[in-house]
Homo-oligomer: A and B are copies of this chain.
Amino acid sequence: MFQFATKTMRQKNKPITIDGIDKKILRKLMADARTPILEIGRHVGISGAAIHQRLKKLEKSGLISASRCIINPRILGYTTLAFVGIHLDKSMRSPEAVKLLKRIPEIIECHYTTGNFSIFTKVLCKNNEHLMHLLNDSILSISGVTSTETFISLDQQIDRQIKI
């Protein structure tokens, strides 16, 4: 099976230009990472060997950065998705805070941001009570975190990658 290189295996990225065939390959694999190379080949009208080579090129360029199976958190009882903006005391060094945030499994994204917050996170909880404990017991207990603002996702209407 064609397998994408891991980070440590990967060489320095090469500049790349992608054509229509590359786009078709990417679209197929963005929809289903396990689409067989031969099936892609039949779809775009060239041989599997050619798809294989193009895939190696796309991978070396860094454009394909990973392939993941996507877990539906609802099935595990995680039904609350929220965004949490974090205000840090100006005496607090952000990297320290982020180091501690990385240990909190409910935090699935964390960004340094411009605007009203020092740090902006996306979190996944079982329910609102779980979210409350996450805020009070985990996030607000980090020294330097002065306050948070929470935006609970009531319904996600769009979830997609960059358009190819």
Contact = CB atoms under 8 A, between A and B. Distances in A.
Assembly stoichiometry (copies): 2
B109 A76 contact: no
Contacts of A161: 68, 70-71, 108
Given A26-B71, A68-B67, A153-B120, A158 B33 contact: no
Given A33-B34, A68-B31, A108-B162, A116 B1 contact: no
Interface residues of A, number: 70
Contacts of A73: 162
B61 A101 contact: no
Interface string A13-30: 100100000000010011
A25 B34 CA distance: 15
Nearest to A163: B105
A69 B81 CA distance: 23
B62 A75 contact: yes
